[in-house]
C-alpha cells in the first residue's frame, strides 16, 4: 500500500542528495516525480554502460532543456558522474535528485560532493504520521516500519514480513560491505554486528565489545563508523562535554524490525525486557525522523550526572529545550534524578513518554507523564 511521505521532494527547488538505508522507499519516492531524465544505477546494464563510458551520461543530459529535473538513483555506484552533475547545475541550471543508501563511498573515495550546490536529505522508515490508521505501536516494535514490511504486516502477511527482515542483514553485508569493499574482514564484521545488535540502546563499552568480537578497539570504533555512514544507526552522546570524554554513548539502530532480525528474535513477540529497549529505540528514532523532515536545527543527546540518567535531551541554538524519559512498562522515575536534572536545567521541561499510559498525568515530583503519541506531539510543536 502507498504511504504519503512527510518528505516532499516536489517542494525542493534545488539539487539534493537523498540518502537512506535500503528499503526505506527512496526509489518509490523518486519514481513518483515528473522528470526529464531518470538514470537507474540499480539496473546492471545501465550501471555498466555508464561506468565504462561516463561521458555518455553528459551527452544524454545535455540534450535536456535548461532547468530540467533529473534523477540518478544509487549515485554511489558510479560516483564519477557527479562531475557531470556539477557541470549540469552550473551550465544548464539542471536540478538533480541523487539517491544512495550510503554516503560513505562518496566521502571516502573523494567524490565530488558538489561544493554546497546540493542539499543533503535523509529518508527514514515510516513515521507514525505517514502510517496513519495502520500504525500500531506493538507491531512497530515487533516488525519495525520499513514500507515493505509495514505493508505486509498491515495485510496480515507477517510470515512474509519475517522472511524479508531475515534477508535484510544478509543483503546489507553482501551489497554494502562486500560489494563496496568497506572492510576486508567480513567475518569479523559479522561477529561485531551480532554483538552490536545485542548492545542496542545500551551504554557502549568499546573495550567490552572488542573482547567479545576478538578485534582491536580501534576496529570496533571503525565498524561503528561504518554503521553510521551507511545509515544503519547513530550514537547519542552525553550532553555534558566532560561526560562525553568518558566515551560511553548509546547506539540506536535505525529500525526495530531489523534489530530483531539481527538478534534472531523474529519468531516470537518481544518479551517485556526486550520491549523496553525496543520502545526506547523506536521513540528516539521517531524523534530523529521528525527533526530531519522538519529540518529542525536540534541536537539530541543523553543526560547523565553521577547515578542519574535521562534518555533524551533535545537542544537548540540557545541550549536545552526539552528532556524526555522513555518508559515501556510501569512508570518510575527517581525524585532525586528529577531534582538533579532541574538543579542543572531549572527551566527545561522534563516529561515521560509512556508506552502503556493512555492519558496524561502528573507525578508527585511534578514530572508530566504522557502517552507516547502526545509526547511526540509535544516535540513536533518544537520542530
Of the candidates 325, 301, 305, which has an alpha carbon nearest to the alpha carbon of residue 313? 301
> What are the boundaries of each domain within the chain?
9-122, 128-269, 296-382
Q: In whole angstroms, how far apart are CA 52 and each of 46, 48, 61, 74, 81?
A: 10, 6, 17, 17, 11
CATH 3.40.1350 for domain 296-382: yes
Dihedral sign, CA of 380, 229, 101, 32?
positive
Query: Which fold is adopted by the domain 128-269?
Result: Arc Repressor Mutant, subunit A (1.10.10)
Is residue 188 exposed (0-12), middle (13-18) or buried (19+ Cβ within 10 Å)?
middle
Going by DSSP bridges, is the β-strand pair 69-73/37-40 parallel, antiparallel, or unpaired? parallel
pLDDT digits (tens, 9 = 90+) for 212-253: 999 999 999 989 988 888 889 999 999 976 655 556 899 999
pTM, rounded to two decimals: 0.93
Q: Which residues pair with 70 in a beta bridge?
A: 37, 96
Which pLDDT belongs to residue 181? 47
Which pLDDT belongs to residue 117? 83
CATH for the stretch 9-122: 3.40.50.300
> From the CB of residue 264, how many other CB atoms can be counted at a distance below 10 Å?
11
CA-angle at 135, arms to 133 and 138, nearest 5° = 140
pLDDT in tens, the chain (383 residues): 689 999 989 888 899 999 999 899 999 999 999 999 999 998 999 999 999 999 999 999 999 999 999 999 999 889 899 999 999 999 999 999 999 877 766 766 556 677 778 888 999 999 999 999 999 999 999 999 999 999 999 999 999 999 999 999 888 776 677 655 466 677 888 889 999 999 999 999 999 999 999 999 999 998 998 888 888 999 999 997 665 555 689 999 999 999 999 999 999 999 999 999 999 999 999 999 999 999 999 999 999 998 999 999 999 999 999 999 999 988 889 999 999 999 999 999 999 999 999 999 999 999 999 999 999 999 999 98
CA 346 from centroid of its chain's CA atoms: 31
* Sole residue written with cell 549540469: 88
**3-class DSSP state of 251:** strand
Amino acid at each position: 500500500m502507498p504511504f504519503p511521505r512527510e518528505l516532499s521532494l516536489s517542494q525542493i527547488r534545488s539539487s539534493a542528495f537523498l540518502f537512506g538505508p535500503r528499503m526505506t522507499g527512496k526509489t518509490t519516492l523518486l519514481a513518483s516525480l515528473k522528470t526529464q531524465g531518470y538514470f537507474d544505477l540499480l539496473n546492471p546494464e545501465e550501471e555498466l554502460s555508464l561506468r565504462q563510458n561516463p561521458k555518455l551520461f553528459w551527452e544524454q543530459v545535455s540534450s535536456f532543456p535548461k532547468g530540467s529535473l533529473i534523477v540518478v538513483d544509487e549515485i554511489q555506484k558510479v560516483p564519477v558522474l557527479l562531475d557531470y552533475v556539477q557541470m549540469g547545475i552550473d551550465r544548464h541550471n539542471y536540478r538533480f535528485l541523487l539517491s544512495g543508501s550510503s554516503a560513505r563511498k562518496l566521502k571516502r573515495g573523494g567524490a565530488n560532493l558538489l561544493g554546497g550546490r546540493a542539499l543533503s536529505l535523509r529518508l527514514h522508515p515510516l513515521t507514525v504520521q505517514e502510517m496513519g490508521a495502520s500504525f500500531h505501536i506493538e507491531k512497530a516494535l515487533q516488525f519495525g516500519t520499513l514500507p515493505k514490511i509495514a505493508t505486509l504486516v498491515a495485510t496480515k502477511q507477517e510470515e512474509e514480513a519475517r522472511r524479508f527482515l531475515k534477508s535484510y542483514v544478509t543483503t546489507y553485508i553482501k551489497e554494502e560491505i562486500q560489494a563496496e569493499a568497506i572492510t576486508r574482514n567480513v567475518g569479523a564484521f559479522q561477529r561485531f554486528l551480532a554483538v552490536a545488535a545485542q548492545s542496542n540502546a545500551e551504554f557502549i563499552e568499546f573495550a567490552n565489545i572488542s573482547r567479545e568480537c576478538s578485534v582491536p578497539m580501534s576496529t570496533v570504533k571503525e565498524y561503528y563508523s561504518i554503521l553510521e555512514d551507511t545509515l544503519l544507526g547513530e550514537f547519542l552522546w552525553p550532553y555534558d562535554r566532560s561526560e562525553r570524554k568518558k566515551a560511553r554513548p548509546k547506539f540506536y539502530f535505525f529500525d526495530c524490525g531489523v534489530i530483531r532480525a539481527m538478534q534472531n528474535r523474529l519468531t516470537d513477540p518481544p518479551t517485556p525486557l526486550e520491549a523496553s529497549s525496543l520502545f526506547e529505540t523506536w521513540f528516539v528514532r521517531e524523534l530523529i525522523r521528525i527533526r530531519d523532515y522538519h529540518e529542525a536545527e536540534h541536537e539530541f543527546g543523553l543526560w547523565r550526572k553521577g547515578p542519574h540518567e535521562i534518555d533524551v535531551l533535545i537542544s537548540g541554538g540557545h541550549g536545552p529545550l526539552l528532556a524526555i524519559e522513555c518508559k515501556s512498562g510501569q512508570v518510575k522515575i527517581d525524585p532525586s534524578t528529577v531534582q538533579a536534572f532541574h538543579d542543572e536545567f531549572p527551566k527545561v521541561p522534563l516529561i515521560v513518554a509512556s508506552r502503556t499510559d493512555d492519558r496524561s498525568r502528573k507525578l508527585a515530583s511534578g514530572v508530566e507523564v504522557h502517552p507516547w503519541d502526545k509526547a511526540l506531539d509535544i516535540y513536533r510543536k518544537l520542530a
